[in-house]
Structure 1
């Protein structure tokens, strides 16, 4: 929110500086803005206490909801329009709840109840006490006039300017977090997401969104020239957000908490009626600035709906056109398919069967690697998936074909796709699965689709041993870790990423465990084949689909598909952001007609 007495060029310069600082991350920006927020809070709290004591100490009784009920009994059209301005009293404070991706729920509850809410009450109660005794002044309704000293009014102007920037910062970081979560749920196009904190997973920075936000903010600031229409749009945004939250909360009460429908309906009617009342007053200001928010909302909703529609249709097409495992194991030998040394990673959204694009590849080029690993990413509507429950590994077809499936589960706050050692984690998981399979008779005879959760590393030395090698800038090779535990490997990788040593290259090699009487010869042989295939090289198979609408499709369907194709071609990130070398990447193009 910009102050009305700040010139437009100054406001634009502040916005440019604010968005330029975003790449430093929430942690550093928060440390810089924290003193400003603390000073602002105590300044407004002290001013409010002074006005309450000096002008009217009984104003504190106005907190009672009885005054609101009396106001509603005597309401008319003029008073009804004033409710849209009342919403602005909480403008900015709701942004802290959008920061749930950056802070815990407990910290936000304590901060709001013990600090933010009391300060708001004291500030507005003090301003009301001042207004009640100084109604003859022209600018009495400006909060700056309630500051007791003229010199302090200039301090207030400077602090309010910086505080408004801090409030904008909370909204910006919340926007980054929401985009990251929507992208994980396939509701937003692929964009680059930079994790700015090594400890807090939710602190992210989205460069493309940052510059789009800056352009839109500058356009609104220059286009309106005044705080009044921006305030109208802000009021509409707040009331819409509150009403949507209440509606979704009623579903949580009924479906997730499994309470009775009566309790859910009562919650929706009570809080929804209040928020609908404020929403109706905000809609009266549609042509006074709120139209801007409506246009932006329609734009972003179109992007999200088009992307989700296209992604869903592609997935349905893949499900309908996938082939069974028997096609690869029984029919492919008739095509004269040969096995070549190495490991082939097949990335697909299909969690059963063989994806259609890979069958298209084999039909035209009858050869694939001696070891195949079908990798699928599955996002879950939870913040994080523990490392012990992330990988589901199974076997596709008979053992002698050496075809495996790995499903990687992740939450909307997890970052699993753009790690440099992702391939090493998959191979380690495959090695653990091979070692455990001999002790699980059910999984040995189970049909395709039976997966095993690798919840803990093996302790009997029946899995692969990971040897991490790092080359420094001087070219020396140093072995940092050698163990049979994938969990320890992850810890060593995490610690090596945090330290800022002059490392240029990291490579993980796998070795067979020492001979153990508990390990069967077949297990040792299969693990050796995995090691040999890894040493021979790795190839990555990605499906590159092209959507097109059928002739005779309605306008809405054509519009959604066209929008999805445009967004897909202009995505800033590939479908699988795994730092895949171009020499090892094979993209198979297919045309999907919907």
Structure 2
């Protein structure tokens, strides 16, 4: 293909696109270029956010393991050795040095791994991929190819519908396990901390105080983590200093000989003395020492890999290991104190300060997991795997800090029920941990898949990672023996949430396929809008649809019910992209419908799994602003195509908001400056300062006067329509099962999905659209 032909092909593609929706110069979110000073600051901050659950585990682990008492004092050495090497193996080797590197542009968690896989393999169940999406700044695919043999695995997964379904279900299951952990962590941590006064007040009083603290904790969630985050790191740091100091005190005072537990032979002797069955059963309690390890990966988006590695290796790891060593030394001398080991080994003059700090540390641990549950549900919703809920951004500094009111109160009620039902941390330990180890096992599977398909590592290197999964399965098998003692609770909850997410995702996919198969052709649209009885109303009409291309089938129903359309009509598709976040400059992708004189556009609003949908006023402002920019760019492309100008000369024009100036750039250095009406923001009240800037930029490229007049006229028309108001048009699509479908399909769609849709928020409530600016028309989809 010749150079001129290539130019025309590119022009044809770019002719209908908003060119600013390509790559922009933004800084990645994974802090990869931070200096040591900034990294150390992040490492300190991570202590308060990431390690609350892991750091408070010494409160209850040994008490849970020795719930039936200590039968042989040497068992303490065996258990301590198992604890030490479990912490070394899973949190240290697996997470800190391997899994943290399997991040999605600095973001961790099951959905981040799945999104990473979706970018490198065609495994998404909804066929809405566009090649324009690959031009997004964070849509990174720069993974070096190391082994060609794994290409067959990738092709098999892409060609197998069953494999793609299982992949998304496994991701949902891992996510559900973390949400379940968000229920048990607050209950377990707070109950364990308050148990220090159980001897004087009794079990019922402990449960009552725990419930009061939990209600207070969840009531404070609406203020956001950012408001109280400054105190987290100092308090947790003080906690780690305190437990390590108490550990050293007990080690030198009672039995320094417990240091023999560093010899792995103690593990062998432990299993030999107790028999494999009894030793295997005790693994369920030992595993509790690493609950919270997955938070290092899930909360990675707020920090970076180096910061997590530094904080865990230099502070958390030595502190909790010393704490366990001290508790073991105390138990060697006082084996009858196993039921309340932590508080029993605290020196008398430190008891009440330790009690207060323990409660504060447990609240912080709970806060971290609850905030993590909010982030996970927000990600699931953005990827079409969870019903619509209202997501509130609680921080202007940290993009991932969100608050979900509906989920907050559901979690609060669940935590209260769990605390009241189990009453003691020992009983709760039967259930606590199963969800965590399941999530760890799923993470191991997904990372193995990434190592093969994306990293393209040698199969021998991948095989070296598999033992982590085998160890986790061993712990899981031990945990499952507690199924009837309460272990079924997190599993039932996880499978319920997975079923909920799976059904929602399935029906959303089928809805998309229905609209795709029944979309309206351009010819039919032209006949529809050109009917004599169709009136044009002033204003802008936004019709929401799942389709990223084409006219949705519900549009004729609007025309049939209300024989009029707005002076500007836009078909809007809000589309999830398998990346963490989409820059504002890249969020809106426009196309003009061929009926040019009718001012009808299509717009794909792209967002990542950590982005939060703006309220209707901000959304309308952004949408209209970038529509006007698109009109300017489109005219430049027409001019360039007419004069056979190369694409490189007009490739990039976008608004860059820096300080108080608005800079419009055309590649090769053409720049025009214009002062903004507000610092760092574009005008949204109808005046045309941004339009003038765009026109000046267009003029700098020497547009003909006729084209300049056309652009100015159309932009003024858009602004006038904006002044008349924006109307949001939503299709109340009632989804029903096809009469010929299976009974299972009818139950899922007609009853389960219908119930979810009626009891969760709709788009108008999520965006808080006023009733006087909302128009709904019903239609039935048979799938």
- State the TM-score, normalizing by the size of structure 1: 0.84
Q: How does 1:270-419 map to 2 (within 5 A)?
A: 270-330=467-527, 332-334=529-531, 336-418=533-615
Q: Which residue of 1 aligns with 2:328?
A: 128
More moved, 151-160 vs 540-549:
151-160
Displacement of 1:94 in angstroms is 4.1
Q: Distance in 2 between matches of 1:354 and 1:453?
A: 28
Aligned CA distance change for structure 1 residues 348 and 385 (closer, same or farther; 3 Å): same
Q: Which residue of 2 aligns with 1:527?
A: 715
1:115-169 superposed Cα distances (whole Å, 9 cap, x missing partner): 111111111122223333x15545487133333x223244433433332222212
Q: Which residue of 2 aligns with 1:501?
A: none
Q: How does 1:549-560 map to 2 (within 5 A)?
A: 549-551=737-739, 553-560=741-748
Displacement of 1:281 in angstroms is 0.2
- Per residue, is there more strand in 1 or in 2? 1
Structure 1 unmatched runs, 5+: 446-451, 467-482, 497-505
1:24 maps to 2:213? no
1:198-225 superposed Cα distances (whole Å, 9 cap, x missing partner): 1111111111111111111111111122
More moved, 349-358 vs 102-111:
102-111
1:170-197 superposed Cα distances (whole Å, 9 cap, x missing partner): 1111111111111111111111111111
Q: Distance in 1 between matches of 2:681 and 2:479?
A: 52
Match of 2:635 among 438, 448, 454: 438
Q: Distance in 1 between matches of 2:547 and 2:739?
A: 28
Match of 2:761 among 563, 566, 572: 572
1:394-422 superposed Cα distances (whole Å, 9 cap, x missing partner): 21114223222221111121123325222
Q: Distance in 2 between matches of 1:490 and 1:297?
A: 47
Q: Which residue of 2 aligns with 1:111?
A: 311
1:10 maps to 2:209? yes
Displacement of 1:245 in angstroms is 1.1
Match of 1:586 among 775, 778, 781: 775
Displacement of 1:21 in angstroms is 1.4
1:226 maps to 2:424? yes
Aligned CA distance change for structure 1 residues 91 and 486 (closer, same or farther; 3 Å): farther
Please say if residues 239 and 357 of structure 2, whose CA atoms lie closer than 8 Å, have aligned partners that are also in contact.
yes
Q: Distance in 2 between matches of 1:192 and 1:579?
A: 9
Q: Which residue of 2 aligns with 1:477?
A: none
More moved, 32-41 vs 366-375:
32-41
Q: Which residue of 2 aligns with 1:469?
A: none
Aligned CA distance change for structure 1 residues 564 and 486 (closer, same or farther; 3 Å): farther
Q: Which residue of 1 aligns with 2:731?
A: 543
Please say if residues 344 and 540 of structure 1, whose CA atoms lie closer than 8 Å, have aligned partners that are also in contact.
yes
1:191 maps to 2:369? no
3-state SS in 1 of match to 2:680: helix
More moved, 528-537 vs 315-324:
528-537
More moved, 24-33 vs 81-90:
24-33
Q: Distance in 1 between matches of 2:548 and 2:294?
A: 40
Aligned CA distance change for structure 1 residues 92 and 537 (closer, same or farther; 3 Å): closer
Q: How does 1:245-256 map to 2 (within 5 A)?
A: 245-256=443-454
3-state SS in 1 of match to 2:632: helix
Please say if residues 417 and 576 of structure 1, whose CA atoms lie closer than 8 Å, have aligned partners that are also in contact.
no
Please say if residues 528 and 556 of structure 2, whose CA atoms lie closer than 8 Å, have aligned partners that are also in contact.
no
How large is the Cα RMSD of the aligned pairs?
Answer: 3.3
Please say if residues 457 and 487 of structure 1, whose CA atoms lie closer than 8 Å, have aligned partners that are also in contact.
no
Please say if residues 441 and 469 of structure 2, whose CA atoms lie closer than 8 Å, have aligned partners that are also in contact.
yes
Displacement of 1:362 in angstroms is 2.0
More moved, 335-344 vs 296-305:
335-344
Aligned CA distance change for structure 1 residues 405 and 13 (closer, same or farther; 3 Å): same
Q: Which residue of 2 aligns with 1:80?
A: 280
3-state SS in 2 of match to 1:318: helix
Q: Distance in 1 between matches of 2:581 and 2:311?
A: 24
- State the TM-score, normalizing by the size of structure 2: 0.65
Displacement of 1:90 in angstroms is 2.0
1:510 maps to 2:710? no
Q: How does 1:52-63 map to 2 (within 5 A)?
A: 52-57=251-256, 59-60=258-259, 62-63=261-262
Q: Distance in 1 between matches of 2:674 and 2:372?
A: 34
1:360-386 superposed Cα distances (whole Å, 9 cap, x missing partner): 222444321222222211111221112
3-state SS in 2 of match to 1:492: coil
Aligned CA distance change for structure 1 residues 352 and 92 (closer, same or farther; 3 Å): closer
Q: Distance in 1 between matches of 2:577 and 2:482?
A: 40
1:343-376 superposed Cα distances (whole Å, 9 cap, x missing partner): 2222212111111111222244432122222221
Displacement of 1:277 in angstroms is 0.3
Q: Distance in 2 between matches of 1:550 and 1:586?
A: 27
Please say if residues 639 and 703 of structure 2, whose CA atoms lie closer than 8 Å, have aligned partners that are also in contact.
no
3-state SS in 2 of match to 1:76: helix
Match of 1:563 among 752, 777, 780: 752
Q: How does 1:57-72 map to 2 (within 5 A)?
A: 57=256, 59-60=258-259, 62-63=261-262, 67-68=266-267
3-state SS in 1 of match to 2:728: strand
Displacement of 1:455 in angstroms is 6.3
1:424 maps to 2:621? yes
Q: Distance in 2 between matches of 1:486 and 1:563?
A: 54
Please say if residues 629 and 654 of structure 2, whose CA atoms lie closer than 8 Å, have aligned partners that are also in contact.
no
Count of aligned residue pairs for this structure pair = 555
Q: Distance in 2 between matches of 1:457 and 1:160?
A: 51
Q: Distance in 1 between matches of 2:509 and 2:534?
A: 32
Aligned CA distance change for structure 1 residues 490 and 283 (closer, same or farther; 3 Å): farther
Q: Distance in 2 between matches of 1:411 and 1:55?
A: 55
Structure 2 unmatched runs, 5+: 1-187, 643-649, 665-670
Which structure is higher in RCO with an 8 Å CA cutoff and minimum separation 6?
2
More moved, 547-556 vs 193-202:
547-556
Aligned CA distance change for structure 1 residues 159 and 318 (closer, same or farther; 3 Å): same
More moved, 136-145 vs 46-55:
136-145
Aligned CA distance change for structure 1 residues 20 and 576 (closer, same or farther; 3 Å): closer
Displacement of 1:58 in angstroms is 5.5
Q: Distance in 2 between matches of 1:440 and 1:114?
A: 57
